[in-house]
Amino acid sequence: MNSNEVLADFQILGTRVSKLVLDTRIIEKGRADVSFDFDYEIGEVGEEGNRFQGILKFMVKAKAKVKNKILFKIELETEGLFAGNSEKLSREKFIEMLEINGLITLLHISRAYLTSVTAQSGIRPPLQIPMVNVLKLRKKKAELNSNDNQAEK
């Protein structure tokens, strides 16, 4: 099948790791409890020619503890530049696709990156970001933003 017939109206143009902080310690061995915190930000969204362009930043923080001692802390920020066909997508639909499709894409890229970096840093087993329900993350973020806006009034 010809790829032009099945290409999506939403595409990724590029990604970069904008921040990586990795803090490890040598401590006694034991079972590590790992916790994660996820967030994202939509950057500038503009229109150029017949396409929208938008930047999405995905942030993940991970912390591993053995008993009450921190084994490692990680902060990762991955940014992606995405484009959408403005003849077929409204601005609102493009932003929705940034939040869903873009976030899923950056989540997979971040997972692969962190697995590789932690393996090369001597963390055994290497860290793997768990599967994230992006729809729930988006809903929670909207609720937090709504609460923040109400608190400012």
Residue 60, Cα to own-chain centre: how many angstroms? Answer: 7
The CATH number for 55's domain is 3.10.420.10
Q: Which two tokens stand for residue 37?
A: 């915190």
What residues contact 12, with CB distance under 8 A and at least 6 apart? 80, 81, 82, 102, 105
Q: Is 65 inside any structural domain? A: yes
**Confidence (pTM):** 0.90
Q: Is 1 inside any structural domain? A: no
pLDDT > 70: percent of the chain = 99
Give the structural domain span for 50.
Answer: 7-152
Rounded mean pLDDT of 21-50? 92
Determine the pLDDT at residue 16: 98
> What's the pLDDT tens digit per position in 55-111?
999 999 999 999 889 999 999 999 999 999 999 999 999 999 999 999 999 999 999
Ranked by mean pLDDT, which of 19-28, 120-129, 131-140 comes out on top?
Answer: 131-140
| Whether pLDDT at 139 is above 70 | yes
Rounded mean pLDDT of 140-152? 84
For residue 102, the 8-state DSSP code is I
Neighbour-count burial of 45, counting CB atoms closer than 10 A to its CB (0-12 exposed, 13-18 middle, 19+ buried): middle
Q: Give the number of domains in the chain.
A: 1
Round to whole Å and give the CA distance between 153 and 149: 7
Determine the pLDDT at residue 153: 61
Rounded mean pLDDT of 20-43? 92
> What's the pLDDT tens digit per position in 2-19?
888 889 999 999 999 999
Q: Is 147 inside any structural domain? A: yes
Q: Is 2 inside any structural domain? A: no
